[in-house]
Amino acid sequence: MQHARPEPLFRKTLIVDDHPLFCDALSMTLRMVLGVETVTTVPDLAHAIEQLETEAAPDVILLDLNLPDVSGLDGLIQLKLSAQGIPVVVVSSLSDVRIVRAAIRAGAAGFVPKHSTRDTFQAAFTAIAEGDLYLPDGITLGPDSKSDASPREEAMERMAQLTRQQMRILQLVCAGMLNKQIAYELSIAEATVKTHITAIMRKLGVQSRTQAVLIAQRANYETLLQDQP
């Protein structure tokens, strides 16, 4: 006797991951176990943003942190800006507690380690469909998590407040560009660049470009592991 497919919590899913075999396995799980009707896969952030801009929006996005065209958690922040309210779930082989917490602070709706079982993905989708965060077993944010946050976690939370254009300008500032060079690169007025940089520094809680660059460097998840004992 054939089993009826479950009523889907989400009907359309976008997977952003450059590992084809994992994408195939996850796509099968989403369709067969969770009842997802349409699964689209893209290998990098650029294709994900293009997909969001040109195709019908998915109900949920599954994002790997290790992508060929983005460094650290910048990809999550940029994707959140393009997703316009669509929940983004990080699915990663990097499941260190600091990375999990930083991803949540950067706006992820949940975090699922890649080695998780089908039941775990079911639990994650159920929680997120109900508007709750999903965290791996044994990891909690706690009621006072903001006061207990590390400098890098606080940096991620601040970075998440930036708009997409502000993120781009901050990246160019980090690359050492002057205002006039940034204006030329983005085809905008130098006065507009100055206005954006003022807003960036206000959102990051800093007083100078150098301090803004330091915040951006702290936010890179690849450095989180360096603090581990």
- State whether 164 and 113 are in the same domain: no
- Where does the pLDDT of residue 159 fall: very low under 50, low under 70, confident under 90, or very high at 90 and above? confident
Q: What CATH number does residue 65 fall under?
A: 3.40.50.2300
pLDDT tens track for 204-223: 889 999 999 988 887 765 44
pLDDT tier at 229 (50, 70, 90 boundaries)? very low
Asked if residue 37 is part of any domain, the answer here is yes
In a domain, 139, yes or no: no
Domain count, the chain: 2
Distance of alpha carbon 88 from alpha carbon 76, whole angstroms: 8
* Residue 95 pLDDT > 90: no
78 and 170 assigned to the same domain: no
Return the higher-pLDDT residue of 1 and 10: 10
Q: What is the mean pLDDT of residues 16-41?
A: 93
pTM of the model: 0.72
* Whether the predicted pLDDT of 142 surpasses 90: no
- Number of Cβ within a 10 Å radius of residue 215: 23
Q: What is the pLDDT of residues 70-89, one digit of tens each?
A: 866 778 888 888 888 899 99
Q: Is 107 left (phi over 0), alpha (psi -120 to 50) or beta?
A: left
* CA pair distance 12, 46, nearest whole angstrom: 19
- Domain with 98 in it: 12-129
- Answer whether residue 119 shows pLDDT above 70: yes
